[in-house]
Amino acid sequence: MATTKTKKKSIKKASKTTKKVNKANANPSSRIANNKSKIAPYKPKKNEKYMSAAMKKHFIAVLLLWKEHLKEEMKKTFDHLKTKGETYADPVDRASQEEEFAFELRTRDRERKLTNKIAISIEKIKQDDYGWCDSCGDEIGIKRLEARPTATHCIHCKTLDEIKEKQLSG
């Protein structure tokens, strides 16, 4: 009985360690998400019209800052990949290295796509086209844009799209 208990305990400990590793692996993407904006959310004045000049200025600042953060992250990912490509001659080490390598390549791909999206959003602000839903033309809304500065659809159209996507994929 006592032995089983000890065994259980050590298993528990092992799974805890695995969790920790996963958490570390998940870090790059969560860093991207968290660095969206360090600028305080915009507080519209009374009767301020949607996408006023000041509002547009705010979102340009948010997007530019996000782009800067992303640039730094991409540089880190790139340096990491470069260093990794040079080390680990041991086949066993290399197998796990390759997994990590693939993970970082995916991160890099995601970062690249996000950079494009940010550039498109900045361009949209300049064209006076930012903040409006691409599908229905309604306001996307400040609250949603603060959370997702690159959003191109209002929450209703986005939700509808997701439902359709789910239905299509079965």
For residue 74, count CB atoms less than 10 angstroms from its CB and return exposed for 0-12, middle for 13-18, buried for 19 or more.
middle
Is 133 a binding residue for Zn ion by CB under 5 A? The answer is yes
Q: Using the rule CB under 5 A, which residue among 14, 105, 136, 163 binds Zn ion?
A: 136
Is 157 a binding residue for Zn ion by CB under 5 A? The answer is yes
DSSP state of 56: H
Let me know: does 59 contact 130? Beta carbons within 8 Å. yes
If the CB atoms of residues 128 and 161 are measured against Zn ion, the closer one turns out to be: 161
Q: How far is the CB of 124 from Zn ion (least distance, A)?
A: 15
Per CB under 5 A, the segment of 45-53, 91-99, 123-131, 150-158 that binds Zn ion is 150-158
> For residues 35 and 68, what is the distance between their CA atoms, to the nearest angstrom?
10
Q: How far is the CB of 145 from Zn ion (least distance, A)?
A: 13
Q: How far is the CB of 158 from Zn ion (least distance, A)?
A: 8
| Nearest of 148, 157, 154, 152 to residue 41 by alpha carbon | 148
Q: Give contact residues for Zn ion (rule: CB under 5 A).
A: 133, 135-136, 138, 154, 157
